[in-house]
Amino acid sequence: MKKRLLLAITSIALATGASGIVHAGKSDDTLNVAIDRELESIDNYYNTAREGIVISRMVWDALLYRDPATNEYLPNLATSYNWVDSKTLEFDLRKGVTFHNGEKFDADDVVYTLTYISNPENGAKPARNVNWWDSAEKLGDYKVRLNLTKEFPAALEFLSGPIVMYPNEYYAEVGPEGMAMKPVGTGPYAVTSVEPGKRYKFKKNDNYHASSPKGQASIGNIVIRTIAESNTQLAELFSGGVDWIWKVKPDQAQRISAQGQFTVKNASTMRIGYLNFDAMGRHSENPMNDVRVRRAIAHAIDRESIVNALVGGESIVVHSLCFPSQFGCTQDVPKYDYNPEKAKQLLAEAGYPNGFETPFLAYRNRDFAEAMINNLNAVGIKTNFEYLKYAAFRDKVQDGGSPFNFGTWGSYSINDVSAITSHFQSGGKDDYSKDAEVIKQLGIGDSSVDPQVREDAYKAALSRISDEVFMFPLWSYNTWYAFSKDVDFTPTSDEIPRFFTAKWN
Amino acid sequence: MIYYTLKRLGLALLVALTVSFISFGLLYLSSDPAIAMAGETASDADIEAIRKLYGFDRPILVQYLDWLQRALSGDLGKSYYFRTDVSALIGERLPTTMTLGVCAITFAIVLSVPLGVAAAIRPNSLIDRLALFLSVMGQALPSFWFALMLIVFLSVNLRLLPTSGSDTWLHFVMPTVVLGYYAAPAIMRLTRTGMLEVLSTDYIRTARAKGLRPWVVLFKHALRNAIIPVVSLAAVQFGFMLGGSIVVETIFALHGAGFLAWESITRNDLPTVQGLILVFSLFYIVLTFFADLLNAWLDPRIRIN
Amino acid sequence: MATSDSQTSAPNKGFDLLRRRVRGHQGMIIGSVIVVSVLLIALLAPLLAPHDPYQQDLLKRLVPPVWDSRGSWEHVLGTDHLGRDYLSRLIYGARISLLIGIGAALISGIIGTIMGVMAGYFGGRVDMIVTFMITVRLSMPVVLVALAVVAIVGGSLQVVIAVLGLLLWDRFAVVMRSSTLQIRSMDYVAAARAVGCSTSRVLMTEVMPNVVNNLIVITTIEIAHAIILEAALSFLGLGVQPPMPSWGLMVSEGKDMMLFEPWLITIPGVALFLLVLAINLMGDGVRDITAPENRN
């Protein structure tokens, strides 16, 4: 009798608690997604995480939309645009679009959004996305004019992605704190629940405007959870608690693929890895000041092997400080082959026949760093390796505290050289060479609107960077995706998964 | 009794203040608060402006006293990362950690005390050796390994429990076991020691001689005295758990105060870390305080001392 | 001395005593054998390791151990994610783990003993201050201290040993303090003082020799503790820096492959476990032999 009672109690308990274990997925039209970090805010202008960009595309729209396949700029919230002159853009806006809270979309929203975020006091991040225009004017209920501060060729790139439109009445009332708790946009998915940093729930927007280049969403509900531990993400995938994960480590992805129970896909990203050297002596007098030493290191690293064995996937070796698809990026620059003998020669010429010791800083991909350290050891260079968290790494580098470091940059998926090369080599905080010629050429490229002028200037800058090895580009990064066989999903090479294109199988 | 209480309280508060100040100092030494607050894309001018505006250029002691003054009136500042009130942030995350901690210490006690008693009654027997072996295992087994193994067996293979998250009570079962077994060895050993000592005393022999039943002797007389140091230890262990729950909270995606603490430290989110340390210290004080009171009730001799 | 609650007639008691001593000895023997073996392995590492533990081979990554169908005798325990021989890393790792354990225990032992003995012997204000410092140390979050130190000074083997040394002195202090308190009230100490011995002489010749037994026991516990703590710090990235082969680091490096190639964690994990178990057994044994009445 007691035993039966115990059994009954256990079953009831399991049943009531079981709502936590019943796995969603195709059966209740809910895609469960796991990400690995906490978002500081879901408000598009107050977070800098990749996941924030992903969510932004789901919940909000921009005036234009860059087609990930053709890189064309298609009309979204704007039906057409016109360059009145090199510093003035005019837009005709789409009629009949409503925000998730019923507010109508019109010129007031555009003007309010653009004015609010370009005001430095409001602290929208990152600053470089929002600091290139002076003012926005309303020319009519559905017509807007944007006055740029200077000639800014990447304007369309920004207006087709990160610059999304907010509802003016709502945002004026609740501000970033309100938007972070209850986001409102025009996008294909509406946010139904926000547990900051923990979990976000989304529902398909049935009123999404039919002429959007993003298309209509198929999956009805999406839940995005933060699970920091990679093994836990895998366990959730295996037990059905989660249907879709990304940034799977290559060794893990291979084995999951081999098991055959889940779909595993790989796509390139715009992120590239690089080595940064103290060419100008900003940190101190050290071997990196000498171009021969830098060239030696360029010859010492076996990038091909590291890419094949460790980075894997769709990654390739890159020769210029940019990702090949970015506008202005060319691989037609001085190249360095893997040649440890030549490296030793150059080191001897520079006065280090027996090598030397140097600090070496990194914040991610410890194993890639270790493989490079191995390469360096082979030519006599010993490293004092320090592996820091990103915040500490960034601070130390930008403070001038690191003569030699390994970093990566994703360009915020902006398909333009100005988003990476100019960031690192225009005399800013990460610039350890501050070369006058490079700075000049990048300046020309960044400010001209003539594509040919831009390409030539960028090529000149990239060639000089390569020749002097101010920074040494390593490889492109890739991302592994693993998801349930019920899901039909195709990754894009800009590292922005578009859930509104995903379907059930 | 009042004097005793006040003295303990005063001492505890002093400890909390010292810990808080040392942590403050360590945090300021290990990262520049102006940069942390300005964010990654700020220019040098922005950072300098923030430094002046928030007084980060003042001596550390002055800054600490300033923070303390505001903290005492309930204002723990705003998180550099989330830009929301630290007190709200902590208030949101703390209940999960508390729940986990209480369950874990209960589990540890329920597991270790009977085991310790059993081992003490039959020293050098199989159960004694087993208890000792389990206690070493508890110290030498990496908790993340144990946690992931449990997930694999109970969640992925047998589908008995959910893998991660904090929605239902079932979500807390595995985390409780993992966090609890970590505190169990010390409690078990101490119970065993205490029982061994007590069982050999005169008054226990007298109680047996009087013909009291073994269970009565064991629990009403022996355990009541042996448990005294265990109560203090349990309180201390609970305090450790609050800090030691980082691994468990990370692996089981519990998003409690422990996870927040670790993430905040690595993000250089100083106000949040400071707030958390203060909260943890206060809890620790309250815990040991109540443990002392409980002990004083169990053993009147302590009160008089 | 513990008594069984039933049969404690005289002949059985003697037999019990003998049995107990033998059983205690057994544990100590096993423990000592293991510890000495690990020591020898550490000392003879260059002779025993089949490969260079730092040598990478990117074409032979994650090769399983020899008992797996994909394994081979070339790498008996397989290779890690950079193609380094696991057996060699395990052997050299013994050095690092022992160095850390002994180094940290030495530093914390010196600090803790000085503080504990002072507190126990002088009492009064000194005792209050030391007790206060112990409580503060117990309330400090270990992770924060480790992270701050690493951020300020950078990570390395010496830093890890120093950090552990600065964090583990509390148990030394507590035990030394209570032992000293006990000793202080003994007649021979009073006698020495009466005769006019200086404080330091009394400490050296009367107090220390009598607390040494407890000191040894605590030292063994803290060596084990330091070794385990290093593993936990490695998990958080605050321990020994790669490519140095500490067992703790090997466990944390293998974590991502846990669900697919569990031997990456199991092998160093078992090594850690055996070493810690052995040290504990040794410590128990030493205590049994020197002062059986303190058995806990």
Average pLDDT, integer, range B197-223: 74
Q: How confident is the model at residue B230 (pLDDT cuts 50, 70, 90)?
A: confident
Q: Which of residues 164-223 of C touch A (CB under 8 A)?
A: none
Decide if pLDDT at C211 tops 50: yes
Contact list in A for residue C259 (CB cut-off 8 A) is 231, 234-235, 238, 252
B192 vs B229, more confident: B192
Q: How confident is the model at residue B302 (pLDDT cuts 50, 70, 90)?
A: low
- Candidate from C23, C148, C232 with C-beta closest to B30: C148
Residue C196: the pLDDT is: 78
Q: Is C254 on the interface with A (CB under 8 A)?
A: no
- For A99, the token pair is 């925000």
Residue A144: the pLDDT is: 95
pLDDT in tens, A20-43: 444 568 889 999 999 998 988 999
Residue burial B265-276, b: 16+ Cβ < 10 Å; e: rest: bbbbbbbbbbbb
Residue A258: the pLDDT is: 92
Q: Say whether A387 and C242 touch across the interface (CB within 8 A).
A: yes
Residue A15: the pLDDT is: 45
Residue C1: the pLDDT is: 39
Among chain A, residues having any CB pair with chain B shorter than 8 Å are 14, 16-21, 38, 40-41, 46, 48, 123, 125-128, 176-177, 196-198, 225-229, 231-232, 235-236, 238-239, 241, 389, 391-392, 394-395, 398, 429
Of C113, C79, C94, C118, give the one whose Cα is nearest residue C216.
Answer: C113
Decide if pLDDT at C3 tops 60: no
Q: Is C71 on the interface with A (CB under 8 A)?
A: no
Residue C7: the pLDDT is: 40
Q: Which of residues 342-401 of A touch C (CB under 8 A)?
A: 366-367, 370-371, 373-374, 384-389, 392
Beta-sheet strand order (sheet of A221-226): A189-195, A199-204, A221-226, A30-35, A244-246, A471-483, A263-277, A404-409, A356-362, A381-387
Contact list in B for residue A391 (CB cut-off 8 A) is 31, 36, 40, 266-268
Q: Say whether A228 and B253 touch across the interface (CB within 8 A).
A: yes
Pairing of strands A30-35, A221-226: parallel
Decide if pLDDT at C2 tops 50: no
The span from the CA of B208 to the CA of A93, in Å, is: 93
Average pLDDT over all residues of chain A: 90
- Candidate from B26, B200, B284 with C-beta closest to C145: B26
Q: Is C59 on the interface with A (CB under 8 A)?
A: yes
How far apart, in Å, are the Cα atoms of B250 and each of B105, B184, B245, C235?
19, 21, 8, 12
- Candidate from C2, C4, C228 with C-beta closest to B139: C228
Decide if pLDDT at C23 tops 50: yes
Contact indicator for B82, A197 with CB cutoff of 8 Å: yes
Decide if pLDDT at B244 tops 70: no
Q: How confident is the model at residue C5 (pLDDT cuts 50, 70, 90)?
A: very low
ipTM associated with this complex: 0.84
**Nearest-10 crossing angle of helices B270-298, B60-72:** 60
Contact list in A for residue C82 (CB cut-off 8 A) is 367, 370-371, 374
Contact list in C for residue B122 (CB cut-off 8 A) is 4
Contact indicator for A153, A169 with CB cutoff of 8 Å: no
A307-321, B278-292, C43-57, C75-89: least confidently modelled range: B278-292
Q: Say whether B23 and C144 touch across the interface (CB within 8 A).
A: yes
Residue C147: the pLDDT is: 77
Of A473, A438, A36, give the one whose Cα is nearest residue A246.
Answer: A36
User: Which residues of chain A, if any, have pLDDT below 70?
Assistant: 1-24
- 10 Å Cβ neighbour count for B122? 13
Contact list in B for residue C151 (CB cut-off 8 A) is 29-31
Contact list in C for residue B199 (CB cut-off 8 A) is 2-3, 5
Smallest CA–CA distance from C227 into chain B, residue: B140
B137-146, C45-54, C200-209: least confidently modelled range: C200-209
- Candidate from A367, A386, A389 with C-beta closest to C82: A367
Count helices and strands in chain B by DSSP H and E runs = 14, 0
The span from the CA of A140 to the CA of A120, in Å, is: 27
Q: Say whether C82 and A388 touch across the interface (CB within 8 A).
A: no
Residue A251: the pLDDT is: 92
- For B212, the token pair is 């009291």
pLDDT in tens, B116-170: 888 888 877 888 888 877 877 777 777 888 888 899 889 888 888 999 988 899 9
Q: What percent of chain B has pLDDT over 90?
A: 14
Average pLDDT, integer, range B39-59: 76
B199 vs B277, more confident: B277
pLDDT in tens, C101-121: 999 999 999 999 999 888 888
Residue B194: the pLDDT is: 78
Q: How far is A480 from chain C (nearest CA, A)?
A: 15
Residue C292: the pLDDT is: 53
Of C226, C136, C224, C227, give the one whose Cα is nearest residue C173.
Answer: C136
Contact list in A for residue B170 (CB cut-off 8 A) is 14, 17-18, 20-21
Decide if pLDDT at B272 tops 80: yes
DSSP A85-143: ETTEEEEEEPSS-B-TTSPBP-HHHHHHHHHHHH-GGG--SSHHHH-SEEEEEEEETTE
Average pLDDT, integer, range B250-260: 91
Residue A33: the pLDDT is: 96
Residue C267: the pLDDT is: 92
Residue A315: the pLDDT is: 94
